[in-house]
């Protein structure tokens, strides 16, 4: 954590410093004390005014990452990243495993529509064929982890929204609909800045990063059963690929 901050135009200094401190915290730089260094020290380290550091810390406090206590210092409220294994057997709820006490999957909305070109390619059907679209939010211990838009072939999985609403799990919903097992065929990963809708749905700090996965699941015969675009809060998850 040394070095002046680069003065890049367009993003406020206090925000850049907040990012640096957040990164240092998640890298474990302050694990010994469990506290962020004093404002005066940080100001010196970053080569900025103490007030600027205060703005940065205020933002981190707003995010719930730290808590400033007058007379004592600024305490770190640690929250680990959830680890997400991506394998043939990738499952959201089960994948989280013991990392969270409670996993919930909420159905925001759903509709039947005609497959667009991307969805058709993902599900290996013809564009225009009917599909079920679901918008979901998944939470770990009440903390939003990801938003997802998922598409299913309408003929085979018309009951998906209802089953998902009851089970709050894709795996369990598939099971109810007669598909006892499925595998992850492909996963694409990119990263972008969150837009307003996702910032709101995931309770993100402004300017936050999303990890985006576009994934296809198939049944054991290789027939696509689900195409999904999931948007993960990048500061709350990491992906692990084991080969």
Phi, psi of 119 (to 5 degrees): -65, -40
Residue 17: which residues within 8 A CB-CB, separation 6 or more? 5, 42, 46, 48, 52, 53, 56
Neighbours of 100 (CB within 10 A): 17
Query: Which region among 69-77, 119-127, 213-221, 222-230 touches DNA (by CB under 7 A)?
Result: 69-77
Phi, psi of 129 (to 5 degrees): -65, 150
Residue 52, binding choice from a copy of itself, DNA, none, Cβ under 5 to 8 Å by partner class: DNA
Is residue 89 at the binding interface for DNA, with CB under 7 A as the rule? Answer: no
Please report how close the Cβ of residue 84 comes to a copy of itself at its closest, in angstroms. Answer: 9
Residue 182: which residues within 8 A CB-CB, separation 6 or more? 171, 174, 217, 218, 219, 220, 225, 226
Residues binding DNA: number (CB under 7 A): 25
Where does residue 21 rank: exposed (0-12), middle (13-18), buried (19+ CB within 10 A)? buried
23's tokens: 């990164």
Is residue 38 at the binding interface for DNA, with CB under 7 A as the rule? Answer: yes
Site for DNA in 6-25 (CB under 7 A): 9-10, 12-15
Residue 51, binding choice from a copy of itself, DNA, none, Cβ under 5 to 8 Å by partner class: DNA
60's tokens: 């981190």
112's tokens: 């039947």
With respect to DNA, which residue has the nearer C-beta, 51 or 78?
Answer: 51
With respect to a copy of itself, which residue has the nearer C-beta, 168 or 235?
Answer: 235
Is residue 71 at the binding interface for DNA, with CB under 7 A as the rule? Answer: yes
With respect to DNA, which residue has the nearer C-beta, 24 or 189?
Answer: 24
The binder of DNA chosen from 20, 54, 104, 121 (CB under 7 A): 54
With respect to a copy of itself, which residue has the nearer C-beta, 93 or 217?
Answer: 217
Positions in the binding site for a copy of itself (CB under 8 A): 3, 5-6, 8-12, 14-15, 18-20, 23, 59, 81, 86-88, 183-193, 195-196, 199, 206-207, 209-211, 234, 238-243
With respect to a copy of itself, which residue has the nearer C-beta, 27 or 41?
Answer: 27
Please report how close the Cβ of residue 37 comes to a copy of itself at its closest, in angstroms. Answer: 18
- What does the alpha-carbon distance between residue 164 and residue 91 come to, in Å, rounded to a whole number? 14
To which residue do tokens 């495993």 refer?
97
Is residue 52 at the binding interface for DNA, with CB under 7 A as the rule? Answer: yes
3-state DSSP assignment of residue 221: coil
């Amino acid at each position: 954590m040394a070095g002046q901050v680069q003065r890049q135009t367009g993003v406020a200094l206090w925000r850049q410093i907040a990012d640096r401190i957040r990164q240092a915290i998640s890298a474990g730089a302050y694990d010994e004390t469990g506290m962020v260094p004093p404002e005066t020290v940080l100001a010196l380290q970053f080569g900025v005014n103490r007030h600027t550091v205060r703005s940065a810390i205020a933002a981190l406090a707003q995010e719930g990452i730290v808590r400033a206590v007058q007379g004592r210092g600024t305490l770190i409220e640690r929250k680990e990243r959830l680890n997400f294994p991506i394998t043939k057997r990738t499952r959201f709820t089960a994948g989280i495993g013991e990392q969270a006490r409670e996993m919930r999957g909420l159905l925001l909305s759903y509709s039947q529509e005609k497959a667009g070109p991307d969805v058709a390619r993902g599900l290996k059907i013809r564009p225009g064929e009917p599909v079920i679209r679901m918008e979901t939010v998944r939470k770990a211990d009440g903390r939003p982890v990801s938003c997802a838009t998922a598409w299913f072939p309408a003929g085979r999985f018309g009951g998906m929204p209802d089953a998902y609403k009851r089970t709050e799990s894709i795996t369990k919903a598939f099971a109810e609909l007669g598909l006892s097992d499925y595998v992850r065929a492909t996963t694409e990963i990119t990263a972008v800045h969150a837009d307003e809708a996702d910032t709101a749905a995931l309770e993100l700090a402004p300017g936050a990063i999303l990890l985006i996965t576009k994934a296809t699941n198939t049944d054991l015969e290789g027939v696509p059963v689900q195409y999904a675009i999931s948007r993960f809060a990048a500061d709350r998850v990491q992906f692990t690929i084991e080969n």
